[in-house]
Chain A
Amino acid sequence: MPPTTHPPINGQAISDHLVRLNLHPSPSFLHSFISSQTRNLPINAVCHSARFRILNADIRECLSPPPNQLLPRDLTRSNPHDLPAQERHLAGPFVLQIAWVEDIGKSKWSQLTEWEQAKRDEGREKVVGLADADSDDAAEATHPANAIGQGRSQALAPKGPFKLHLHDAQNPPAQVHGVTVGPIEGINVDVPMGGKILVKDVVVARGVMLLDSSNTTLLGGKVHALATKYKEGRIDYLRRHLEGDGTVG
């Protein structure tokens, strides 16, 4: 129970504020949030703190958006025998939580190698590789070894694209894959898991959301447990796939 010495916190004002940010708080979240406020802070600061709490909590526990802001259940498997629709437009807006990220522009081997190298180099002097630093001399600057396991065209491609595993606030959550067809600020393999994105007016092709900066914004936040699990698990995941039959798709 809130201390009685303070005037009651305006739950409606907080809720209105969050809704304007497309974050529809669940009643239980709102209740526990308000009851945890012990000091009489300006409403702005309280709103800010509520937003922060939402972004850093599991989406299923803190949001309950109206039905039109939840992913349709038939997005990825309208019918077990059919492919998902070639193209479907969704207006949203949707707030989705990131559960996993993969860089599909780089081979898993090179991601693993980079990680291992970075780990070895931590706090130590770095061996200068053939790929490092551009030599001023024309003939030797580019070398096949630079592109180990990558293929030459890699150099021309932008970073990523990234494949995101996303879900909404339903219980059980509706899940969807998103692919960043264009770069989106803040989204890469280092984005913390449990982070939230806001997606509007998006095309879903064969059940995959095509994300770019025109329809997607990273709201931020993270869910500590998920972020840790991902950080620790990503390398194992890469390794497992490489140790498998090598035909990860």
Chain B
Amino acid sequence: MRKILCVAEKPSIAKAVANHLAGAHVPARSVTGSTYTKNYEFDYNFGPPWNQCRVVFTSVAGHLTVTDFDPKYKNWRAFPATELFEARIDVFVKDDNKPIERNIEQEARGAFALFIWTDCDREGEHIGMEVRNAARKTNANIQVKRAIFSNIERAHIIEASRRFHELDEKQAAAVETRNELDLRIGAAFTRFLTLSLQKVSPKLEDRPVISYGSCQFPTLGFVVDRYWKVRNFTPEPFWKIAVMHQKQGMDVRFTWKRGHLFDRMTVVILFERCLAAKHARVSKVTKKPTRKYRPLPLTTVELQKNGTRFLRLDSKRVMTVAESLYNKGWISYPRTETDQFDKATNLRPFIEKQAQSTQWGQYAQGLLDGGFQFPRSGRNNDKAHPPIHPVNFVFPNTLASDDERRVYEFIVRRFLACCSADALGESTTIDLTYGPERFATSGLTVLEKNYLDVYPYERWESSAQLPPFAEGETFVPTEANIVDGKTTAPDYLTEPELIELMDRNGIGTDATMAEHISKVKEREYIRAVARSGAGAGEGEEEGQGNVGRGARGSRGGRGGRGGRGGRGSSAGRGGGRGGLDQLVPTQLGVALIDWYESLNLDKNVAKPFLRKDLEVQLKAICDGAKTKTQVVQTEVEVYREIYARQSQQVALLKAVCSPMWLSDRDARLQY
């Protein structure tokens, strides 16, 4: 029988796939020198043209190789940092990966084919290339194919094992390009910052390295930008007219269509004209059906945002947990940009599996019994992976940790919500004309909760009942007041907001964003602090007495606008935001960004454009429009220029990071 070598990206995937293919438990054989890597041997029929084969299924542990400079560059002082832009780079296998490489070399011997089972994304393609290179060392003619799969559910794996694809060299080249640029730019700029700031401040002395990363700096830039918005904020007074009318024992609060104005005199004049008119007239009563849309299928970015918002886990933790759920076969591949299910997908089996749950099983059964609606389609499709969804049911209490349980529960509930009907309601809006001014109030009656029954993360609730009003009806309002208030500062950035900003500005990929945020924290450029004070998030604070905050309740039905339901904003805000940590830059973080800002670069490294450009170029490599060499050259030139510019301003850099300056900042930073 012919021998075939299969290689997965991680041991857990090798084990799961091997067991699926073998159809039985396959004993693991240790690999000399490696603790986690195991080989699984069994017979399997791949179908034509390979048919029955003797399979050796093994894995790597992520990337086999690393990219680094020639060791002579390790001495920072021996070479100018700019040499790193063109210094020779070696690609080699790390010592701890040597046994894994050896294992592949050995097993490739005598195998006619290498079947690669790395994750289906850019990194996976690159790892596949590394595996291929290792295998060819001992077997130059080995046939190389790749399996395409997005979860390790059995049927899906069996199917994937019968389709043989080619490795995508272009995607691997994009990864190589990024690795090389990150290395060159990161090293050169880190050396510059570190050497410039050494001995500048005793506070910096316990930091051996002031590191630079081309994703980390724009990430930090967002945090600093918001920081200054908060610090520079000046509250301003505003005034508004509030009208309340009692009817059938209910207090109905009407809000001013103008919102509030920043000119007291004008408000007083308009208010006086309302009073002079005496009677208010109901100009319009609108009742219309409204709906709150079920969520879209889940992408990585959404998982991270919702994970931080609803589950209070930082984005890196969410991804680690999701990764582990994927490795165990409970969910589909958690790194995806796709928010649309292929119309041909049969989603019923995934719902069926959830029917045994004591928590949401009954709901899942309801979907199977006719409640099912094919999910809405978002705009994104990475053409590699479906949206994140549960592939198998697991009893939550058998999961390893509370975080795993919560993330799994969220993914399941989100999936079931996607397959449900929108929540339906009816909104009533009453428009009022009072003197020259217009007011309105609205109410919401939720008629069918639908997806909300299984998705407690969002709220959409009926407002207080409104008494009946007829068009043309006039009355003398029970109360009319001028209410004053003042604007309040925005909050510091939260992690879900930061992820959103990174996503919108193309910083990192969905897969690496959490990593960058965590790096910036680790390097102490930012820190997460518990929110102090509550309820400041809305930028509006009203005076005590008078009508007070009660007025807000009557706005509950603003979702009636355009029939777009509550849009979840009011609920998401009220429910989700309260206890989120805020991201505040450290003094050093602020100093570095402010300094880069002051260089007035065409393309500021503290802004997202440079990185966005790179992502575009990497995409061009994947599409075959550009080569690695072209992109590396262009990018290095750009950074070389920035480097030259920043080198002229070292004195200023030292000044802004000087101890005196930092202690001055100290006083201003109140966490």
A binding-site residues for B, Cβ under 8 Å: 86-87, 102, 104-109, 113, 125, 127-130, 132-133, 136-145, 147-158, 161, 163, 177, 179, 181, 205-206, 208, 210, 242-243, 246-249
Contact = CB atoms under 8 A, between A and B. Distances in A.
Contacts of A125: 609
Given A108-B234, A139-B458, A249-B264, 11 more contacts: A104-B261, A109-B236, A137-B295, A138-B567, A144-B577, A148-B229, A152-B538, A157-B257, A161-B266, A181-B270, A205-B272
Interface in B491-539: 491, 497, 500-501, 504-505, 537-539
Given A138-B295, A138-B564, A208-B266, A143 B497 contact: yes
A142 B567 contact: yes
B490 A107 contact: no
Interface string B236-272: 1110100000000000000111111111111011101
Interface centre among A129, A149, A154, A208 (most CB of B within 10 A): A149
A87 B269 CA distance: 10
Contact of B229 (A113, A143, A161, A206): A113
Interface stretch (B54-62, B109-117, B568-576): B568-576
24 contacts: A86-B272, A102-B263, A105-B258, A107-B236, A107-B262, A109-B236, A125-B609, A130-B497, A132-B504, A137-B296, A138-B293, A144-B573, A145-B490, A151-B259, A151-B539, A152-B555, A153-B240, A156-B558, A157-B258, A163-B266, A246-B234, A246-B235, A246-B237, A247-B237
A149 B539 contact: yes
Nearest to B485: A151
A107 B264 CA distance: 13
A202 to B, nearest CB: 13
B72 interface: no
B378 interface: yes
Contacts of B567: 138-139, 141-142
Contacts of B585: none
A137 B558 CA distance: 17
A157 B500 contact: no
A105 B609 contact: no
B191 interface: no
A104 B263 contact: yes
User: Would you call the interface of chain A mostly helix, strand, loop, or mixed?
Assistant: loop
A156 to B, nearest CB: 6
A150 B487 CA distance: 6
B409 interface: no
B453 interface: no
B245 to A, nearest CB: 19
B616 to A, nearest CB: 12
A156 B256 CA distance: 9
B263 A147 contact: no
B33 to A, nearest CB: 48
A154 B255 CA distance: 12
A163 B270 contact: no
Contacts of B485: 151
A148 B491 CA distance: 9
A139 B452 CA distance: 13
Nearest to A245: B234
B608 interface: yes
B259 A157 contact: yes
B460 to A, nearest CB: 10
A132 B503 CA distance: 13
Nearest to A153: B259
Interface in B250-309: 255-266, 268-270, 272-273, 276, 292-293, 295-296, 302, 305
Contacts of A87: 273, 276
Nearest to A248: B236
A246 B500 contact: no
Contacts of B255: 153
A118 to B, nearest CB: 15
Nearest to B267: A104
B538 A144 contact: yes
Contacts of A150: 487, 539-540
A85 B631 CA distance: 73
A249 B497 CA distance: 34
Interface in B365-398: 378-379
Nearest to B377: A136
B79 interface: no
Given A147-B539, A151-B538, A109 B234 contact: yes
Given A127-B607, A144-B538, A210 B436 contact: yes
Interface string B313-341: 00000000000000000000000000100
A139 B572 contact: yes
Contacts of A181: 270, 436
A13 B295 CA distance: 70
Contacts of B490: 144-145, 148-149
Contacts of A128: 501, 504-505
Interface in B412-442: 436
Contacts of A142: 567, 569
B233 interface: yes
Interface centre among B236, B296, B538 (most CB of A within 10 A): B236
Contact of B500 (A130, A144, A148, A177): A130
B262 A136 contact: no
Nearest to A137: B296
Contacts of B260: 151, 153-154
A242 B234 contact: yes
Given A137-B302, A140-B572, A151 B263 contact: no
Given A130-B501, A132-B504, A108 B262 contact: yes
A249 B302 CA distance: 43
Nearest to A149: B487
B500 A86 contact: no
Contacts of B302: 137
Contacts of A106: 262
Contacts of A249: 237, 263-265
Task: Pick the 4 closest A-B CB pairs, nearest first.
Answer: A151-B540, A153-B259, A142-B569, A104-B263
Nearest to A204: B269
B100 to A, nearest CB: 41
Nearest to B302: A137
